[in-house]
Amino acid sequence: MSPLDPTRTLADLRRITAAWSLDGQRIGLVPTMGALHEGHLSLIRLAKTRADRVVASLFVNPTQFAPHEDFAAYPRDEKRDAALLAEAGCDLLYAPTVDAIYPSGFATTVSVAGLTDCLEGEFRPGHFAGVATVVAKLLIQAAPNVAVFGEKDFQQLQVIRRLTHDLDLPVEIIAAPIARDADGLALSSRNAYLSAEQRKIAPALCRILAETARVIAGGETIAASEEAGRAALLSAGFSDVDYLETRDPNTLDRLGPGRLDRSARLLCAAHLGRTRLLDNLAVARAL
C-alpha cells in the first residue's frame, strides 16, 4: 500500500472533511506528533470502529516543549509514518507546517485551570497550555465527530476532556487503553532513546506500578505504598522519580495518606538516563 500523501493546508483539510460530512460520513481524528509506533496505530484502528473516515494529524508542536526539552531532537520520519498510517487504514494525513498552525500574529492560548497544576504541569511548566491550544485548534480544524487519545498520557486525556466540555466542542473524546510491549513497557516514541541496558530496566516501571496498585487496593496506606514504589524504582536502576502518586481519576486531586476509599489512578514519571518515561494504572477501591 502506498503511503498517504500529506495534506498541508487548512483549506484542503476542510474541503475534504466537508465533503465527507455532506455525504453523511462520521469523521474520526487521531492527533499525533509522528514517530509512530503500534500504540498510535491502535488508536487509528479504534477510531475506525467509531467513524467512517479517519484523519491522523502529524505535528510536532513546539509550544508544548520547554527550552531544555527535546523539540529539535524529537524523532521525525514523515514518509515512514505515512506508510504506517496507510497500512492501518487511515484515510487522510494532515501534516501542517508550524506557520500553518501558528501564523504570524497568533496570540491566543487555551489554558485549563486545576487539572494542569500538578504532575506533568508541575515538572513541565507551560506544557499543557501548548497541548490544549494545539488540540483545540486541531479539533476545530478537522471538525471530527470523535477523537481518540491514549490513556498513557492520562493527565493529557483529562485536560482534553475538560477543554472540549468547557468550550462546547461537538466531539466525543474516546480513551484508548495503553499499548504495551510483551514485557509490559508502555509504548512511547521516546523509548527509542533508551540504550540496550536501559531497555532491560525499563519494564520495571510497569511491574512496580502494578505491585504498588495491588498493595494499595489490598488496604495498605497510600503514603507508605507510594514511598515503597519510589524506592523500588530507584533500586531497579531508575535515576530519578519525578512523581509516583495516587490521584482521583477525574479531578486529579491528590489522595492519601491513608487507605484508599474510592477508585483511583496511580501515575508515575521516572528517568532512565536522559529518557523520561510515563506510565499509569487504574487502582481498584480497597475492600
* Known active-site residue 127: no
Co-location of 158 and 206 in the same domain: no
Domain edge (last residue) among 144, 176, 208? 176
- Mean pLDDT of the region 182-202: 97
| 141 and 205 together in one domain | no
- Domain with residue 67: its CATH number is 3.40.50.620
Same domain? 205 vs 125 = no
Residue 2 has pLDDT above 80, yes or no: no
Q: Are residues 233 and 262 in the same domain?
A: yes
| pLDDT higher than threshold 90 for residue 120 | yes
Please tell me whether residues 156 and 269 are part of one structural domain.
Answer: no
- Same domain for 118 and 219? no
Share of the chain above pLDDT 70, in %: 99
Q: Which pLDDT does position 73 carry in this prediction? A: 86
Mean pLDDT of 202-229: 98
237 domain residue, yes or no: yes
Domain boundary among 145, 176, 207: 176
User: What amino acid is encoded at 48 in this protein?
Assistant: K
Per-residue pLDDT at 131: 98
> Are residues 114 and 20 both part of a single domain?
yes
The model's confidence at residue 287, banded by pLDDT at 50, 70 and 90, is low
Examine residue 2 and state whether it is found in any structural domain, yes or no: no
Mean pLDDT calculated for residue range 113-126: 96
Whether 1 shows a pLDDT value over 70: the answer reads: no
Residue 120 lies in a domain: yes
Q: Judge if 157 and 203 occupy the same domain.
A: no
- Is residue 182 a part of any domain in this protein? no
Task: Kindly state the average pLDDT of the residues 24-42.
Answer: 97
Domain boundary, last residue among 127, 152, 176: 176
Residue 67 pLDDT: 85
Number of domains making up the chain: 2
- Residues 137, 240, single domain; the answer is no
For residue 62, what pLDDT is reported? 96
Residue 184 lies inside a defined structural domain of this protein? no
Q: Which of 37, 40, 68, 127 is catalytic?
A: 40
Residue 14 has pLDDT above 90, yes or no: yes
Does 1 map to a domain? no
Closest CA to 249 of 113, 124, 148, 151: 151
181 within a domain of the structure (yes/no): no
For the cut 90, the answer to whether the pLDDT of residue 68 exceeds it is no
Residues 125 and 47 in one domain: yes
**CATH code assigned at 211:** 3.30.1300.10
Q: What is the pLDDT of residue 66?
A: 86
| Residue span of the structural domain in which 112 resides | 10-176
| Each residue's pLDDT tens digit, 131-163 | 999 999 999 999 999 999 999 999 999 999 999
Residues 199, 130 within the same domain: no
Both 142 and 195 in one domain: the answer is: no
Please indicate whether residue 73 or residue 126 has the higher confidence score (pLDDT). Answer: 126
Inside any domain, residue 28: yes
pLDDT tens, position by position, 257-286:
999 999 999 999 999 999 999 999 999 975
